[in-house]
Amino acid sequence: MGFEGVGFAFGLTLLAGLATGVGSLLAFFTSNTNTKFLSWSLGFSAGVMIYVSMIEIFVKAKDSLVGVLGVTNGSWLTVIGFFGGMILIALIDKWIPKQGNPHELKKVEDMEKQPKKHDANLLKMGTFTALAIAIHNFPEGIATFTAALQDPMLGIPIAVAIAIHNIPEGIAVSVPVYFATNDKKKAFRLSFLSGLSEPVGAIAAYLFLMPFLNDVMFGLIFAAVAGIMVFISLDELLPAAKKYDEAHTSIYGLIIGMAVMALSLLLFI
């Protein structure tokens, strides 16, 4: 694997992770949340991730494993890897403290709703949220990096989809920390740092997975990546999109995301 390919994959992963900082900046420099656009974009991200996972990544994983292990064993191992990825991200979700649930969405308007004074509980909640998002972003970093490493044109839409869903997570970190401390720099710093676990996941994938990469390992990783992204879409993106939803905006975003992903794959056949 060439250095340029690795650098490109890492760069995509870094950009996706830094979107939490974008969410934090939005919280500071806009006066209200465009809920319609946010609902649409989160639905769009889910559509991209579900379609590419089931139509492209799962199929590539199966082809790789079947080519080495045969139809029966390869098919079974693909399914095991897929649900293994789901179980991994579900366990991560279970271990996260409830105080830092990254699914507890915030709006920019929340910045002005409470007096800005030091509040240890709010600071604790913001810190837990940052930690929870960092833990979530680690396997997302592995997913983005490995997908982009295998196929750069596949990695770009995945990175964009993950970046979009990182924006409201950045807001979720900034709001309680800013409430607690009245310190925008501290709120931004925690939000920014939570996103950096995504490129850390990419580094871990490069150091610990790439040296052992063969057709079987690749197939298992890709199957797990597909499972991780489907779980994230169903457990995080779609519920978040529905929370902001206005007149079925999220489902339209979902369908358009699938259509854009389908078209992009067809154009590169």
Binding site as annotated, residues: 137, 140, 165-166, 169, 198
Query: Measuring CA to CA, which residue among 224, 215, 51, 213 is closest to residue 143?
Result: 224
Single-letter residue type at 237: L
Single-letter residue type at 199: P
| Strand residue runs (E) in the chain | none
Rounded-to-integer distance, Cα 54 and Cα 59, Å: 7
Query: Binding site membership for Zn(2+): which residues?
Result: 140, 165, 169
The H or E element spanning position 59 is: helix 58-69
Rounded-to-integer distance, Cα 37 and Cα 50, Å: 20
Q: Are 137 and 197 in contact (CB under 8 A)?
A: yes
Residue 206 DSSP class: I
Rounded-to-integer distance, Cα 15 and Cα 137, Å: 12
Rounded-to-integer distance, Cα 26 and Cα 135, Å: 23
Query: Binding site membership for Fe(2+): which residues?
Result: 137, 140, 166, 169, 198
